[in-house]
Structure 1
């Protein structure tokens, strides 16, 4: 087999289906609702408690609802493609495994390497976010505060802060790893309880806030475009702002792909995985739309924390504050609900840590089981039936990252990684429809020739920016920073070097081709 042929060698769908049926690596204990809880846990987090109100204040006004709908359309196109693959190839590895079946080994490795850093980075970033909410909740309930040096990581931008390590973030990352090393059903039950508490908390916020909505706050629904954005801290409205916001809130409407990594732990994966993918996205979108309408109805989108200051001309807008949901209810003298908000926020963010650590460990396991990474990691726990070795390493790595590194800039790598995977998945489902139309598909993406290309275009625009012409000149809206794109290229180059040096020679498919 020639060099280029090795790069595109594929696993057949039939082989993957056979492997899934014969696999004894994991315990099959998850039903459709536990899988759906993993998806909701991954999707609903900072989007409810930070992104929705922030984007209403800074970019879209009440029309942030439209921003979520635009982002949701793009995400739904990818979700439908995931659902078709999940029902057809119910194997641990998610997009990596699907890519192996359709595009070949090197593209599959690129997807797997991409998702591995994306998921691990989300765990580190979100563990730090969980710490902030937990510290706030502890202070509200007990009045106690951690020593300054334990409250957060050292930040070169603020060298005099006195902070050294985010000890709660370390504990959250290690605690989640320990829960996932235990029996899968224990972790799944824990996650289901946490997600249920989050959904109930968000529901209480929506219902309680609905009684204090003034529909006049929704007028104008799409505020006029602010032309001098620099003078308003980057604020912009009009459709320009709505589309810019959609590029940002998109990253609040993915995460359902994490549940497909648990395919080999599902009781009936070909039925349950497609249902869970679509249910988790649908429920999450309803929550986002409801919270956006309630928050922008309770206070003016450009209302000030200091009521003596004129709307839109203030030091701090309510919806752009550090804890915007709490700030909205405080502005309406509803302080009694702050504890519920804090608990829902902690549960919401903790469930994101759980879902993405679960996904990262199983992608790592799949890469190792296929020989592309050392096989030492492809050993399930002899008693608990979990991928304990990659989970243990991820727990330590993410604990160190969350505890000691200010990784805000690196967090943008999550965005480009997810969008790149979505482009490849939407393309793959089209290719497989052409190449293997006879395959049994438990779920078929409707209008595939429209929705899959639409998903590719949405993802591409969110990377490079939405096309926009103003005064006869082309000014793309949104898109990712060029530095982020270069960092992604560097990470992919490192992954390519590992594949050429190790994975290509140790691939299980290569061994089978040699008759070993």
Structure 2
């Protein structure tokens, strides 16, 4: 019997991961370009269509392109570490699996629980954003839905209160067909129906199978890549170099009284647009469905990150060249920039691309969440009968997919986007830090293991990844830390009362038996 502390720090041997890979389970049908498509599908979303405006206007000015370079370098360090770990441990689970192999079960549980927060809240946030873009797209066709079917209760009431106080009810009425909120027992009701329904549709696609999910994602990725390239090529014709002068504005306070611009503003802008890079890590959760996971997963991670970085830099240069950074719209900057040039038809294209882009982000996020839960269920840390059972026909963890889809949809329909969005970044940054630590520790403890992909100058790369991402975490407000602490505390309660008693690793040193499929 292991001592209690030894149990918590027990590491899952690499041989167990190799046994997981050999015994199969999920269908291995994804090639390197399918994995790259999933990475692009997750990365390119609200970041490029929304955040560029605020980051340039409030923090970096025309030097927003440099902010994307800085953020890209920080993510590249983490991405390289992810790539080496994925080649060493080609199984689903991502940072959870990497932590299990290097720092032990308790830390693996913490990271796995943290990833659930990242993916669940990320999916809810994207679904609410998707609902907003859908409303804009429908408005182009003069279709308007009731206020109470487009927002959660808090947001709907806040919109009414603000409009009443400012005397702008007529403007609000132009966006919605009905401004009344139904009530039951004096409680005002509202439900973000589009957000709820889109998660339901995506969940159904994921239950059907990884081939269908990858195919759906590929279609949407092609659409939004075409539109992003259109923005760069068409927008370049309207660039006025005078809008780039000075390229790095003199440091001064922004509209919120914060010190911004200059080189400090570039770094602050990088911290803000970091959210736009979240997604490459989701590629590693698909290792269990990759044909050649040791080669293809690292390729998918790095290729998607490089492609998106180049596109981000191109869009930011065009955007700040088309419109003076002080005049950029902060809600729909790209669409507004083209509208200013009299290209109203381009707004239609960009709006369609935004809806498609957010749909693919949502699909990959929910897919990643279900695979992390599946990995934890295989290890006994999550209920196997819920999250580890594969559908006999579709070969997908359908029960866990349906349950998490339902819970995520309810959160999206009833929770303000500001609250759920704040839970995403800090969870992602923690996972990045842990992977940088894990790959370095693994290189030191087991240097002779086969690594098809090896990071050169690993101490430098891992240190940069740790410093950059930990620095980003420290820059977040204390409320984010408090929410993370509360979530992790709840996770520890679940682990000590459930997970540790059912851990496959603690029960036996032999590889776990194959999972079953049931009807």
TM-score by length of 1: 0.91
Q: Which residue is equivalent to 1:460?
A: 470
Deviates more, 1:160-169 or 1:280-289: 160-169
Is 2:473 aligned against 1:449? Answer: no
* Runs of at least 5 residues in structure 2 that lack an aligned partner in the other structure: 162-178, 182-189, 513-519
Deviation at 1:339, TM superposition (A): 0.9
Tell me the SS of whatever aligns to 2:419: coil
Is 2:366 aligned against 1:357? Answer: yes
**In 2, distance between residues paired with 1:349 and 1:514?**
43
**In 2, distance between residues paired with 1:395 and 1:84?**
31
CA contact (8 A) 2:130 2:355 kept: yes
CA contact (8 A) 1:131 1:169 kept: yes
Q: What CA deviation, in whole Å up to 9, does each residue of 1:390-432 have, x standing for no partner?
A: 1101111111111111141232221111111111100110111
Match of 1:323 among 317, 321, 332: 332
Tell me the SS of whatever aligns to 2:420: coil
In the TM superposition, 1:310-389 aligns within 5 A as 318-320=328-330, 322-376=331-385, 377-389=387-399
Match of 1:480 among 473, 476, 489: 476
Q: Which residue is equivalent to 2:444?
A: 434
Tell me the SS of whatever aligns to 1:213: coil
**In 2, distance between residues paired with 1:116 and 1:186?**
23
Alpha-carbon RMSD across the aligned residues, in angstroms, is 1.6
Q: Call closer, same or farther: CA 1:515–1:50 in 2, change over 3 Å.
A: closer
Deviation at 1:254, TM superposition (A): 2.2
Tell me the SS of whatever aligns to 2:396: coil
* Runs of at least 5 residues in structure 1 that lack an aligned partner in the other structure: 304-317, 465-478
Q: Which residue is equivalent to 1:211?
A: 237
In the TM superposition, 1:45-444 aligns within 5 A as 45-140=45-140, 142-155=141-154, 157-158=158-159, 160=161, 162=180, 164-227=190-253, 229=254, 234=258, 236-303=260-327, 318-320=328-330, 322-376=331-385, 377-444=387-454
Q: Kindly tell me the number of residue pairs found equivalent between the two proteins.
A: 483
Q: What CA deviation, in whole Å up to 9, does each residue of 1:155-201 have, x standing for no partner?
A: 15446464611111111111000000002101110101111111011
Q: Call closer, same or farther: CA 1:430–1:511 in 2, change over 3 Å.
A: same
CA contact (8 A) 1:58 1:235 kept: no
CA contact (8 A) 1:154 1:162 kept: no
CA contact (8 A) 2:128 2:417 kept: no
CA contact (8 A) 2:50 2:332 kept: yes
**In 2, distance between residues paired with 1:350 and 1:360?**
16
Tell me the SS of whatever aligns to 1:302: helix
Deviation at 1:225, TM superposition (A): 1.4
CA contact (8 A) 2:19 2:511 kept: no
CA contact (8 A) 1:49 1:323 kept: yes
**In 1, distance between residues paired with 2:439 and 2:283?**
18
CA contact (8 A) 2:11 2:105 kept: yes
**In 1, distance between residues paired with 2:509 and 2:180?**
58
Moved >2 Å (runs of 4+): 156-163, 231-236, 513-516
**In 2, distance between residues paired with 1:2 and 1:495?**
22
Deviates more, 1:262-271 or 1:77-86: 262-271
Q: Call closer, same or farther: CA 1:463–1:361 in 2, change over 3 Å.
A: same
Q: Call closer, same or farther: CA 1:44–1:59 in 2, change over 3 Å.
A: same
